[in-house]
Every structure is written in C-alpha cells, then in structure tokens.
Amino acid sequence: MKAANEMTEILTPSRSTVFVVDDDTAMRDSLRWLLESAQLNVQTCDSAEAFLAIARPDACGCLVLDVQMPGLSGPELMDELKRRHIHLPILFLSGHGDIPTVVQAMKGGAVDFLQKPYDNAQLLERIGQALTLDADSRDARRREFLRSQRLEGLTAREREILDQVVAGRSNKEVGRKLAISYKTVEAHRGRLMRKMGAASFAELLQMMLGGRRETI
C-alpha cells in the first residue's frame, strides 16, 4: 500500500519546477535568469541541505545539481532523496575531475550529466528531456496506481474472467473453462470493463500489459 502523500502526488500533479542546487551565487542567479527566460518555473537552493528542507515527495520537475558542494555533495543528496521517495530526475553539472563520482551516481538511478563548460542549448535540451522523463514516470506511476486500485475493486469472479480474457480466450472458451454460461461471462466482462475504466477490449489489453498513457 502506498503512502498517503504519494497518493496525493499522483492524483494532483503540481506545476513542473526546475530545482537548481549550486553553492555559487553567480551560477544560481544566472541559471535562474536563463531558465526563466526559457519560460521554466525555477527554484534555487544554495546547498543540498537547503533543498532537502523544501523538497516534497509531490515535487515535480527536475533537479539541476552541482557535483561539488561543501556539506552534502550532489551524489549524497541523490541517495537521501531516494530514501525519502522523491523521484525527481537529476541532471548533474560536473566540473573537471568529477567524472568518477558522476559515473558512480549514474549507476544509482535516473540521472544525466553535463560536463562544464556546457552549451546552454544543450543544458536547456537536457532539462527538457528530464522534465519529459519526470512527466512520463509520473504518468506511469499514476497509471500503475489507478490500475492496482481498480483491480482491487474487482470481485474474485471478475478478476478470474479478466485474466482469462487477457490471456486471449474468447467469451465462449472462458464460459466453458469456468463452467458458466456465455451470457454470464459477457455480463461480467461488461462490468469489469466499466470498473477498470476501459472503453474497448484493446484498451483493457494495453492497460494490463503496460500500454501508452493516451489510453487512460
């Protein structure tokens, strides 16, 4: 069972924010100007600790993170976020000599990195990708959440029939297998489609086998 706050996160997504964490004032201020010029919503923090103080599990967007900072380092912040179930994609901005640290961090999760000095066009593109990634994974999590919730709403018989149908059996075959009439199978099937929120059999199939978000 998922935590209550995560449920709110999934059901009411807030506006995407690019969180910039950098101890250098000039970098923070200039990145804010650049990103706001690209019409992004920006929030800056001067340390990993400051970000942790404002980070909420329902935060959505991405995290632009300097690798080397006094106090908690970028990779350490990443570990802490994982512990707190904050799944923001992270874009590391790494200086010279940070590569081993970043490689280590990349093994740990959804991260990308840009080596300084980077191109601003590149930066904006990577931030765009991170935001898409965040929206996608948020959607996936929402779909998964809805699906499991709806599955829980099915009766045992409906669940049985769903599994058979998804396995590719016709109503007739299902009736024969479960020793119930074809009509009964059809009635159950209509009900479970409604409960699962599927408009068509194709949609139901996609939902159960992991389809695209447009289908929900």
Please tell me the distance from the alpha carbon of residue 95 to that of residue 102, in angstroms, as a whole number: 10
Give whole-number Cα distances, 207 to 46, 120, 135, 144, in Å: 43, 39, 18, 9
Q: Counting contacts by CB under 8 A, is residue 12 touching another protein?
A: no
Q: Counting contacts by CB under 8 A, is residue 31 touching another protein?
A: yes
Q: Counting contacts by CB under 8 A, is residue 49 touching another protein?
A: no
| Residue 102 beta carbon to another protein: minimum distance, rounded to whole angstroms | 16
Size of the site for another protein (CB under 8 A): 23
Strand order of the β-sheet with 111-115 is 42-45, 17-21, 61-66, 90-94, 111-115
Which of 5, 14, 120, 181 binds another protein (CB under 8 A)? It is 120
Interacting positions 163-192 with another protein (CB under 8 A): none
Which of 95, 108, 109, 153 binds another protein (CB under 8 A)? It is 95
To which H or E segment does residue 62 belong? strand 61-66
| Residue 26 beta carbon to another protein: minimum distance, rounded to whole angstroms | 4
Q: Counting contacts by CB under 8 A, is residue 125 touching another protein?
A: no
Give whole-number Cα distances, 34 to 28, 54, 62, 92, 190, in Å: 10, 22, 16, 17, 53
Report the residue number, 26 or 179, with the smaller CB distance to another protein.
26
